[in-house]
């Protein structure tokens, strides 16, 4: 865990880099993080036992919630049934298993949970206890999103107290410290989400979390059906809604790059084109396309099937580092082995700690996307990179 004050500036940054160099040459601590969330609702269709752990170092069980009255972590009967198998599958393959709190449904609980110390304490103690009960290796918070400056401050209070509790528990129990991570917005400021500007408390996140899971996706989708868009563009020549902008916003604000884990989607988003021959990124559209009828999402395995069945044209777009396909008026923007390969090269160049996928069970039967990173990226490592970046190691 690096602690730093941005006022101390560049020389401290150099010291940290030097420390990273030394630690990566003397220990195996700088293993790149290759993570994926496992939606527990899919435990019947995609059980934890079917996860191929050759592609992952960390898996996250999503989601559990906090009780809105007591603020204690709620492990439901179905969680209690699924968690032991999830943990056993991970540990049987030397991967770490984390428990993730929140997700899209938790909006109502977190604001009150973070607003008082007793509520935070109740949540933290019960979350740590749940992790130990089920033999988990860590905890993750997915709050989408703190709504204003006050809630950002209270998120900082929660994480500070959570870190203290985790350190104390490990000291008392003599067991390895639980990991503590958080899924966060793709950029450090939530400027583009609504008109309520707010930024994450970077120094608190850096000192209390092992790493952040930056959700670098959902840039375009069913909320704007007038034009097609690359849902998880690495670059966007026309706006700041891109992974490169988001990742760089964290780093340039002083967040340690090795504590940034870059998210990538194993699903696409679909549009219905206005005119089948005008079919690029930014082409006029009239609605959502095939896939989920409510939000036009389609998991990668279904995209592969759709493309094959419909003889769709696949295009890799190097200006955004994304892939799209079209057939008639159906248009799908997504990530595939090629775009993911190039995104991970970007992550390596930025010295990030690793990457994660949303979500397990969405890749095709051959694990094509998950596997591409390993096949394509490992041979490209330059020796001089191995010191400063966890990801520059063998992936
Ligand atoms: C992108 O962000 C930078 C500052 O981070 C700002 O100066 C620029 O105007 C933004 N560009 C767009 C297109 O919003
Ligand atoms: C990465 O590897 C996959 C096979 O796993 C291949 O299909 C794909 O084209 C490769 N992409 C690049 C950019 O090399």
The pLDDT tens digits of the residues spanning 157-191 come to 999 999 999 999 999 999 999 999 999 999 999 97
**Does the pLDDT value for residue 388 go beyond 60?**
no
Alpha-helix runs per DSSP H in 264-381: 300-310, 337-349, 368-377
Distance of CA 139 from the midpoint of ligand 1 (Å): 34
* DSSP letter, residue 274: S
Give the number of the ligand closest to the Cα of residue 199. 1
Ligand 2, CB cutoff 6 Å, lining residues: 337-338, 341, 368, 371-372, 375-376
**Does the pLDDT value for residue 195 go beyond 90?**
no
More confident residue, 280 or 192: 280
**Sign of the CA dihedral 98, 183, 206, 33?**
positive
* Section 239-258 average pLDDT: 97
Distance of CA 383 from the midpoint of ligand 2 (Å): 22
**CA–CA–CA angle 264, 238, 222 (5° rounding):** 55
Determine the Cα–Cα distance for residues 161 and 159; give it in Å rounded to an integer.
5
**Does the pLDDT value for residue 132 go beyond 70?**
yes
Residue 371, C-beta contacts closer than 8 angstroms, at least 6 positions apart: 55, 337
Are the CB atoms for 247 and 262 separated by under 8 Å?
A: yes
Give the number of the ligand closest to the Cα of residue 244. 1
Q: Percent of the chain scored above 90 by pLDDT? A: 83
Confidence of residue 27 (pLDDT cuts 50, 70, 90): very low
**Does the pLDDT value for residue 337 go beyond 70?**
yes
pLDDT for residue 8: 33
pTM tops 0.75, yes or no: yes
Measured from the Cβ of residue 283, the count of other Cβ atoms closer than 10 Å reads 19
pLDDT for residue 151: 96
For the CA of 240, the closest atom of ligand 1 is: 1
Tens digits of residue pLDDT in 203-235: 999 999 999 999 999 999 999 999 999 999 999
Tens digits of residue pLDDT in 307-329: 999 999 999 999 999 999 999 99
Beta bridge partners of 37: 60
Strands 96-103 and 322-327: unpaired
Determine the Cα–Cα distance for residues 291 and 287; give it in Å rounded to an integer.
12
Are the CB atoms for 146 and 173 separated by under 8 Å?
A: no
Which CB contacts under 8 angstroms, 24+ apart, belong to 235-238?
A: 235/319, 235/320, 235/321, 236/320, 237/319
* Section 4-12 average pLDDT: 33
Are the CB atoms for 49 and 69 separated by under 8 Å?
A: no
Place of tokens 């865990």: 1
Q: Which of 15-29, 69-83, 366-380 has the lowest mean pLDDT?
A: 15-29
For the CA of 239, the closest atom of ligand 1 is: 13
Distance of CA 317 from the midpoint of ligand 2 (Å): 15
Catalytic-role residue among 144, 161, 338, 345: 144
For the CA of 342, the closest atom of ligand 2 is: 13
Distance of CA 341 from the midpoint of ligand 2 (Å): 7
Q: Which of 376, 377, 378, 380 to mutate to test the pocket of ligand 2 (most atoms within 8 A of CB)?
A: 376
* Section 44-60 average pLDDT: 96
Mean pLDDT, rounded, of the chain: 89
Q: Which of 308, 345, 355, 341 is nearest to 327 (CA)?
A: 308
pLDDT for residue 376: 86
For the CA of 376, the closest atom of ligand 2 is: 1
pLDDT for residue 104: 77
Give the number of the ligand closest to the Cα of residue 342. 2
Confidence of residue 390 (pLDDT cuts 50, 70, 90): low
Q: What is the distance between the terminal CA atoms of the chain, rounded to a whole angstrom?
A: 22
Distance of CA 240 from the midpoint of ligand 1 (Å): 6
What φ, ψ does residue 75 adopt, rounded to 5°? Answer: -95, 105
Give the number of the ligand closest to the Cα of residue 323. 2
Residue 145: C-alpha distances to residues 92, 184, 190 (Å): 34, 8, 9
Are the CB atoms for 120 and 73 separated by under 8 Å?
A: no
More confident residue, 267 or 107: 267
Structure tokens that stand for 2 in this block: 């690096």
* Section 121-141 average pLDDT: 98
Distance of CA 194 from the midpoint of ligand 1 (Å): 16
Catalytic residue at 144?
A: yes
Determine the Cα–Cα distance for residues 326 and 275; give it in Å rounded to an integer.
11
pLDDT for residue 391: 66
Ligand 1, CB cutoff 6 Å, lining residues: 239-240
């Amino acid at each position: 865990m690096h602690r730093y004050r941005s006022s101390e500036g560049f020389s401290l940054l150099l010291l940290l880099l030097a420390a990273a160099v030394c630690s990566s040459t003397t220990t195996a601590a700088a293993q790149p993080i290759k993570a994926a969330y496992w939606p527990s609702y899919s435990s019947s269709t995609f059980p934890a036992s079917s996860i191929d752990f050759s592609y992952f170092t960390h898996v996250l069980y999503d989601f559990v919630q906090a009780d809105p009255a007591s603020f204690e972590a709620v492990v439901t009967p179905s969680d209690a049934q699924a968690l032991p198998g999830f943990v056993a599958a991970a540990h049987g393959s030397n991967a770490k298993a984390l428990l993730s709190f929140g997700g899209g449904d938790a909006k109502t609980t977190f604001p009150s949970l973070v607003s008082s110390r007793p509520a935070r304490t109740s949540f933290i103690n019960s979350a740590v206890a749940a992790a130990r009960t089920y033999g988990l290796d860590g905890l993750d918070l997915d709050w989408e999103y703190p709504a204003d400056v006050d809630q950002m401050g209270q998120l900082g209070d929660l994480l500070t107290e959570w870190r203290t509790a985790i350190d104390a528990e490990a000291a008392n129990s003599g067991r390895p410290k639980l990991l503590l991570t958080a899924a966060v917005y793709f950029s450090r400021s939530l400027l583009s989400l609504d008109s309520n500007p707010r930024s994450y408390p970077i120094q608190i996140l850096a000192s209390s979390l092992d790493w952040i899971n930056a959700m670098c996706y959902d840039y375009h989708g069913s909320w704007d059906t007038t034009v097609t868009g690359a849902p998880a563009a690495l670059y966007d020549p026309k706006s700041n809604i891109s992974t490169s902008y988001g990742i760089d916003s964290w780093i340039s604000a002083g967040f340690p790059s090795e504590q940034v884990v870059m998210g990538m989607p194993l699903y696409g988003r679909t549009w219905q084109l206005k005119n089948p021959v005008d079919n690029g990124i930014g082409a006029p559209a009239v609605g959502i396309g095939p896939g989920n009828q409510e939000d036009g999402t389609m998991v990668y395995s279904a995209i592969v099937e759709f493309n094959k069945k419909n003889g769709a044209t696949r295009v890799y777009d190097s200006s955004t580092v994304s892939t799209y396909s079209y057939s008639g008026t159906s248009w799908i923007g997504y990530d595939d082995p090629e775009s993911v390969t190039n995104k991970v090269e970007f992550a390596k160049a930025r010295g990030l700690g690793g990457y994660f996928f949303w979500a397990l069970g969405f890749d095709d039967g051959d694990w094509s996307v998950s596997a591409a990173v390993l096949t394509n990226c490992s041979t490209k490592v330059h020796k001089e990179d191995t010191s400063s970046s966890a990801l520059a190691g063998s992936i």
